[in-house]
Amino acid sequence: MRIGTTSFIHPGSWLENVERLAPRFDDVEILFFEDGPGAFPAADECRELMRCKQAHGLTYSLHAPLAASLASEDERRRQAGIDSVLAALDVARAFEPENVVLHVYHGDSEHADERPADVDAWRTRARASLAAIVQSGVPPRELCVELLDYDYALIEPVVNDLGLSVALDVGHLVRDGLDELAVLERLLPRTRIVQWHGTEPGGRDHRSLEHYPRERARVLLQTLAEREYSGVLTLEVFRAGDLERSCDVLASLLGELGRAWPARSAARTSPP
């Protein structure tokens, strides 16, 4: 298991974040949340990201733009979403991400009220978009469709048919009051990334793991260890304070389970 976090922890560029995080983590989720002019790093920064990756033995998980609406009923919007993802992938080729995380929304954006009236038609649109992205040269298993705010069983047939993988956001499941451990058991064979974060009492997610139920966190880690999970466990937070407190929680839980901080991370530094 590789321990990771995001490229939005410290003020500064993607490279500045990676350089600060590289001594402590195995994977960095490179966030290309926006799209359009200036939204991606320039070529020289991408080359430096590759250099840093090689120097520290990192892997990268690219998160594609959030506005890409890959199952939209609006054909122009759906095609624009494909183009946005392909543009991000074209830039990212310079630093060779091992995983690519994508959103497939029920509507045109996350948390949108609308839901598809025709689920089969929605799946057909999603399948066409994801197939077009695979055809650009991404190995299907490296393309990870993220669990969002709807039952993953709805998109699962598309993921399975195309040979794609899962980005399993257990933080979203706990936020929504669902049984994350049951979903983990079912989806883990196809999961390359587990995204982990807490939700504050007011409902704001992607916060420190101190806001994640401790016993459930312990069972989550125990399950990953027992299943010999070898993918990425991403502390998907976006602030330095949340990351530090999450690392404290993780180190404490591993201690309770009689397990050390994963070897690659431990070789770089003791747990923060």
Q: 76-87, pLDDT tens digit by residue?
A: 999 999 999 999
Q: How far apart are CA 252 and CA 268, in angstroms?
A: 18
- What would the two tokens of residue 158 be? 């598309």
Mean pLDDT in residue range 197-223: 96
Task: Answer whether residue 141 shows pLDDT above 80.
Answer: yes
Sign of the Cα pseudo-torsion (93, 95, 98, 99, in order): negative
Task: Answer whether residue 263 shows pLDDT above 90.
Answer: no
- Ramachandran assignment for 132, one of left (phi > 0), alpha (psi -120 to 50 degrees), beta (any other): alpha
Mean pLDDT in residue range 149-160: 95
State residue 261's pLDDT score: 66
Q: How far apart are CA 121 and CA 129, in angstroms?
A: 13
Mean pLDDT in residue range 136-140: 95
Q: How far apart are CA 67 and CA 80, in angstroms?
A: 9
Mean pLDDT in residue range 171-197: 96
State residue 170's pLDDT score: 97
Listed residue (33, 35, 37, 92) closest to 59, CA to CA: 92
Mean pLDDT in residue range 54-79: 97
C-alpha 272, offset from chain centre: 22
Max distance between CA atoms of the chain, in angstroms, equals: 53
* Pairing mode of beta strands 232-235, 165-169: unpaired
- What would the two tokens of residue 256 be? 């309770």
Please write the tens of the pLDDT for every residue from 33-49.
998 888 999 999 999 99
Task: Answer whether residue 139 shows pLDDT above 80.
Answer: yes
Give residues with Cβ within 8 angstroms of 239, minimum separation 6: 9
Task: Answer whether residue 111 shows pLDDT above 50.
Answer: yes
Listed residue (244, 251, 270) closest to 10, CA to CA: 244
State residue 262's pLDDT score: 61
Report domain extents, the chain. Answer: 2-268
Per the prediction, the chain carries an average pLDDT of 93
Mean pLDDT in residue range 69-82: 96
Please write the tens of the pLDDT for every residue from 117-136.
899 999 999 999 999 999 99
Please write the tens of the pLDDT for every residue from 227-255.
999 999 999 999 999 999 999 999 999 99
Q: How far apart are CA 114 and CA 74, in angstroms?
A: 13
Say what the pTM is: 0.93
CATH number given to 2-268: 3.20.20.150
Nearest 10 degrees: Cα torsion 92, 95, 96, 102: -40
State residue 272's pLDDT score: 33
Long-range CB contact pairs, 53-56, < 8 A, 24+ = 53/18, 53/95, 53/96, 55/22, 56/22, 56/23, 56/268
pLDDT band at 116 (very low <50, low <70, confident <90, very high): confident
State residue 240's pLDDT score: 97
State residue 271's pLDDT score: 36
Q: How far apart are CA 123 and CA 144, in angstroms?
A: 16
